[in-house]
Amino acid sequence: MKHVLVVDNQISNCELLSKFLTKKNYTVATTTKGNHALQMLQQKKYDLILAEYSLPDTTGNIFFDEVQKINPTANMILMGKEVNLKNVVSLIQKGAKNFISKPLNPDELLDAIREAGNGTNYKSPIDSTPIQKAKDRPKAPERVTGKSKKARAIIEQVERVGPTNFTVIIQGETGTGKESLARLIHQKSMRKDGPFVAVDCGCLSRELAGSELFGHEKGAFTGAVFQKAGFFEQANGGTIFLDEIANLPMDIQIALLRALQEKVIRKIGGTKEIPVDVRIIAATNENLSQKSGTANFREDLYFRLCEYTLDVPSLRERPEDIPMFIDFFLEETSRELGRPKAKVCKEANALLEEYDWPGNIRELRNVIRRSTLFADSENIIRKGCLPSRISNYKSSLYGSDEPTDSKGFLSVTNKGDLKSTALKAESKRIMEVLEKVRYNKTKAAEVLNIHRKTLYVKLKLLNIPC
C-alpha cells in the first residue's frame, strides 16, 4: 500500500503528514477539502485515505459514504480531536479501518497504516451491546491524579499554590496532563467562578498571535472587518492558560510582559489601554530556565512568569498510577458510548503496564479509547486489540529471544556472549553516571548524550530501579 491521500482541514497538518509519510516511502497527495478529495479519487485510485473527520465542507460519515461509491476498495483511516465515539463506531461498522485521535502519535499512525495494508478489519461488538439509559449509567468519575508518591507531591503543590494569585509555570513532557493541572489550580483559586481560557500558543501564527491574545480594532489589518476581543479580555476576572508558551514570537513576548507587569493590554490597531485582571498559568515541554535569555525566549519574561514552577513527572516515572488511569479511561469511554465498561484481560493489562508511554497520559487515553472499539464479543480488550507498538514493545527493542528475569526485565548477567557483555558495560556506565549526578536523570541523559526518554527505556530494560 503505497499511494496515500491525506485530507485535513489544516494545510500545516497536510504538509507534516506528507513529509512524514514520504520519508516512510509512501507516495502522498494532500488536500484540505472533502469535495476536492472526491474529485481526486475520480481521477486516480489511492490505496489509503487518511481523512480528518470534521472537514470544512462535509462530515466524516458523508465523506466515507461518497468514497465508497467512487472507490469501494480504498482503505480509510479517520482522525480527529474529541470526536463523538458513537460516530466512530458507526464508521468502523461500515468498514473504516481505524480512527486515530489528534494530536497524532507517529507510531500509532504507522501501526494503523500497516494494519490497514495487511487487510486487518476490526469488527467492534459494540453494536450488539445494549445501550444503557442515562439513569442506569455509572456516575461520572472524578478527576484521577494518581496515588504514587510523585502524584501526591504534585497535588500537594497545587493545594499550596492554588489559593494564591501567583503566576505558575507547569513543566512536563507532552501528554502529562498540564492543562488538567492548570484547571485544578484555577478551581482551587478565588477565581474559580471566573472564566478559564486555554490557549495553545503552538497554533498561533506569527501574523495573528497578537490579535488572538489581545484583540484588534475594526480595520486594523486586511480582513479585520469587526472589532474583536482577545483571549485576555475573555479571561478577565479568571485564569488564562498559555500552553507551549515557548512557541510565542518575540514581539508577542514583549506585549505579554507588559500585560503581566502593568495589567493592561492594547488591541492591535488601538490606542486605548484596557485594564485586565487575569491570572496566568503557562505550560511548556521544554526547560524554560535553560531557554530563557536566548534568541527564542526573553529572560525577563521567564523571571516574571516563574513565581511558582511545577514539574510534572512522566507516566513512566510513576508506573503504579497506570492501573488507575486505565480504569478511569475505560469508565470515561463507557459513558461516552452509553455501553457497559469494557474489561482488560491479564495479558493486555500486563502489556499496558510494561509499555514506555512516550506520549504519557494522552497516549494512554487514546489507546484505551481505540482498544475499547475493538473489544471482543464478551466486551474484553485482549492483546490483539492493542496497537502493535504496544503488543510488540519488548521484543522490538532487543529481540524476543533475550533472557529476562522474574519481573520480565532483560537479564544482563547470565551470558558471556558479545551482546550480554555490551549490556553489562552499558549498565555499569549508566550506574556510574547516575551516582555522579546524584540520580538526576535529566543530567544523566545529558552526560550520556541520549534523550531522557531513551534513558528511561534503558533503565527499565537493564533492570535498574528508576
pTM: 0.64
Per-residue pLDDT band for 240 (boundaries 50, 70, 90) equals very high
Last residue of a domain, one of 286, 315, 344: 315
134 part of a folded domain: no
* Shared-domain flag, residues 45 and 95: yes
* Shared-domain flag, residues 416 and 387: no
48 part of a folded domain: yes
What pLDDT is recorded for position 413? 47
Over 50: is that where the pLDDT of 130 sits?
no
* Shared-domain flag, residues 254 and 357: no
131 part of a folded domain: no
List the domain range (segments joined by +) for residue 383.
324-391
What pLDDT is recorded for position 466? 57
286 part of a folded domain: yes
135 part of a folded domain: no
* Shared-domain flag, residues 174 and 37: no
The better pLDDT of the pair 425, 98 is held by 98
179 part of a folded domain: yes
Over 50: is that where the pLDDT of 83 sits?
yes
Per-residue pLDDT band for 163 (boundaries 50, 70, 90) equals very high
What pLDDT is recorded for position 122? 44
CATH number of the domain that residue 106 is part of: 3.40.50.2300
Residues 6+ apart with CB under 8 A from 370: 98, 99, 100, 101, 387
Last residue of a domain, one of 338, 358, 391: 391
| Distance between CA atoms of residues 334 and 137, nearest Å | 9
CATH number of the domain that residue 443 is part of: 1.10.10.60
* Shared-domain flag, residues 381 and 411: no
Number of structural domains (the chain) is: 4
What pLDDT is recorded for position 419? 53
What pLDDT is recorded for position 99? 83
201 part of a folded domain: yes
Over 50: is that where the pLDDT of 408 sits?
no
What pLDDT is recorded for position 134? 41
* Shared-domain flag, residues 159 and 308: yes
Neighbours of 413 (CB within 10 A): 11
Instruction: Give tens-digit pLDDT for 434-443.
Output: 878 777 777 8
Instruction: Give tens-digit pLDDT for 116-127.
Output: 776 554 444 444
* Shared-domain flag, residues 181 and 269: yes
| Mean per-residue pLDDT over the chain, rounded | 82
Instruction: Give tens-digit pLDDT for 191-227.
Output: 999 999 999 887 777 777 888 899 888 888 877 778 8
* Shared-domain flag, residues 161 and 271: yes
Alpha-carbon torsion (140, 132, 328, 113), positive or negative: negative
The C-alpha cell of 427 is what? 549498565
Last residue of a domain, one of 391, 416, 439: 391
